[in-house]
């Protein structure tokens, strides 16, 4: 389907929206594999708990640098056959899949950390244009549905990816322990499968989803202008950063305090379950390995909650409004993280992760839906990249500073770190409730638009 420069974007069928979202299933598959397993991999290769945040620095730094640049470039790209966003989907997926295959062969911390940098750089190359893809393709009346479908795919991909180490061991009986300095075989196979799904899912979206030609008749001249160098692009990114819509500023503040809670969970939750709940000692201990696998399985469960709750989220937001919905979901996630410390029966971890899954469904959709109507149509990619600043900046702060807190104040107690993440999520919920104003249910505004 194509449109002329004077046409409004037509509504898409449910199958078309699914096709354009399938790629996010694979991208999230790759993200959740690393989130659930990199802490374990680092500790297998000899890292101490207070070193783990710094070793995760690759993700926020690459997001900070790569996403606005890729957003700018994809805004200025047009190819008659490949379109605007799809070339970036494919390039990122190809190199990320190679990094996923190589990761379980890491023989030293520097190698695992280096491959994580590669995976994060090109994961961002593939992921960032997907947010703009929704706004490119869908009319305003279907934008919510587009972001919710991405949330559904994220939850589905994350649930399978996080469960893979447990499935490899308990269903296929692949070994889940390894000597110090090696990576368990069940984790290795999980990364191989992740590479297949990452590349295959993105390829499916590239093949089945077309893009509309630019509606701006002067677009070709803008593309030629962008080819003159990155100087103009840098100026445009900085100009956009200094001129964010007021609504975006408020929602960005909510994001800034939301994401550290998630980061601390990804840093420490799996190993906290292995040590604090199961009583394991180190990576060579079968009890530790069983705990880490079970922790990954409960992370998988929160992703299941996410994609199921995503189906109900639009109607909830219509009734309660986006502000109320998002704040309540964040509080549910905070309670889930804080309550991990009360668990004595491992199965109660599923109750904790139910709250996290509810929060995750909202985090993946509500902030972006709030922004969809206030961003300049020709700069959606740039602004989505800038919005990511307020996700990665707190992670950079956590990566650089939380190791000191772990060592000197929390005494390397992984469980306390997870609880601290819940406390930050409560702060985000309060900011959302106090500062985001709504005109009517389902139509949240923060300040003037």
Query: Of residues 247 and 415, which shows the higher confidence score?
Result: 415
Asked whether the CA dihedral 429, 435, 438, 442 is positive or negative, the reply is negative
- Confidence band (pLDDT; 50, 70, 90) for 380? confident
Model pLDDT, residue 231: 58
Model pLDDT, residue 141: 77
Closest CA to 133 of 184, 66, 85: 85
Please write the tens of the pLDDT for every residue from 68-83.
778 778 877 887 788 8
Taking residues 128-153, what's their average pLDDT? 81
Model pLDDT, residue 421: 94
Model pLDDT, residue 439: 63
Closest CA to 96 of 21, 22, 178, 23: 23
114 by Cβ neighbours in 10 Å (0-12 / 13-18 / 19+) ranks as middle
Model pLDDT, residue 299: 87
Q: Which domains does the chain show, CATH number per domain?
A: 14-210+220-445 (1.20.1250.20)
Average pLDDT, rounded, for the chain: 84
Model pLDDT, residue 354: 97
Query: With helix as H, strand as E and coil as C, how does 393-433 read?
Result: HHHHHHHHHHHHHHHHCCCCCHHHHHHHHHHHHHHHHHHHH
What is the rounded distance in angstroms from the CA atom of residue 384 to the CA atom of residue 190?
Answer: 31
What is the rounded distance in angstroms from the CA atom of residue 449 to the CA atom of residue 439?
Answer: 12
Asked whether 139 and 12 are in contact (CB, 8 A), the reply is no
Q: Looking at 185-189, 240-244, 261-265, 332-336, which range is the least confident one? A: 240-244
Please write the tens of the pLDDT for every residue from 188-222.
999 999 999 999 999 999 999 988 776 653 455 55
Query: Of residues 234 and 332, which shows the higher confidence score?
Result: 332
Coil vs helix vs strand at 448: coil
Position 233 pLDDT exceeds 70 = no
In percent, the amount of the chain with pLDDT more than 70 equals 90
Position 30 pLDDT exceeds 70 = yes
Model pLDDT, residue 418: 93
Taking residues 41-46, what's their average pLDDT? 88
Model pLDDT, residue 438: 66
Model pLDDT, residue 420: 93
Q: Which residues make Cβ contacts (< 8 Å) with residue 315, sequence separation at least 6?
A: none
């Amino acid at each position: 389907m194509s449109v002329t420069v004077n046409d409004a974007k037509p509504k898409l069928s449910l199958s078309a929206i699914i096709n354009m979202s399938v790629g996010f299933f694979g991208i999230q598959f790759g993200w959740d594999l690393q989130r659930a397993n990199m802490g374990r991999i680092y500790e297998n290769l000899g890292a101490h708990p207070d070193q783990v945040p710094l070793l995760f620095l690759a993700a926020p730094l690459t997001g900070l640098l790569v996403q606005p640049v890729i957003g700018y470039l994809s805004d200025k790209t047009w190819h008659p056959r490949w379109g605007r966003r799809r070339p970036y989907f494919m390039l990122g997926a190809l190199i990320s899949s190679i990094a996923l295959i190589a990761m379980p062969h890491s023989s030293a911390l520097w190698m695992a950390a280096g491959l994580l940098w590669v995976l994060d750089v090109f994961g961002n190359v593939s992921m960032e244009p997907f947010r703009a893809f929704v706004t490119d393709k869908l009319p305003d009346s279907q934008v919510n549905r587009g972001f919710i479908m991405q949330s559904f795919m994220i939850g589905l991909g994350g649930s399978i990816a996080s469960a893979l180490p447990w499935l490899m061991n308990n269903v296929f009986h692949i070994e889940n322990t390894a000597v110090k300095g090696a990576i368990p075989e069940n984790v290795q196979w999980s990364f191989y499968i992740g590479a297949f799904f990452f590349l295959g899912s993105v390829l499916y979206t590239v093949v089945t989803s077309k893009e509309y030609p630019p509606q701006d008749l002067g677009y070709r001249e803008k593309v030629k202008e962008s080819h003159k160098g990155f100087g103009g692009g840098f100026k445009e990114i900085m100009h956009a950063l200094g001129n964010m819509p007021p609504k975006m500023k408020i929602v960005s503040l909510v994001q800034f305090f939301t994401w550290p809670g998630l980061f601390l969970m990804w840093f420490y939750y799996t190993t906290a379950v292995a040590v604090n709940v199961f009583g394991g000692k180190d990576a060579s201990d079968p009890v530790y390995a069983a705990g880490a696998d079970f922790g990954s399985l409960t992370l998988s469960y929160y992703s299941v909650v996410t994609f199921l709750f995503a189906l109900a989220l639009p109607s909830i937001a219509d009734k309660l409004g986006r502000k109320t919905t998002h704040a309540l979901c964040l509080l549910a996630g905070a309670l889930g993280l804080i309550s991990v410390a009360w668990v004595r029966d491992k199965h109660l971890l599923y109750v904790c992760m139910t709250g996290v899954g509810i929060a995750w469904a909202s985090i993946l959709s509500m902030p972006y839906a709030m922004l969809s109507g206030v961003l300049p149509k020709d700069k959606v990619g740039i602004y989505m990249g800038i919005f990511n600043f307020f996700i990665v900046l707190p992670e950079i702060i956590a990566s650089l500073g939380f190791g000191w807190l772990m060592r000197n104040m929390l005494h390397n107690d992984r469980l306390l770190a997870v609880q601290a993440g819940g406390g930050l999520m409560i702060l985000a919920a309060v900011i959302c409730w106090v500062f985001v104003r709504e005109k009517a249910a389902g139509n949240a505004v923060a300040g003037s638009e």
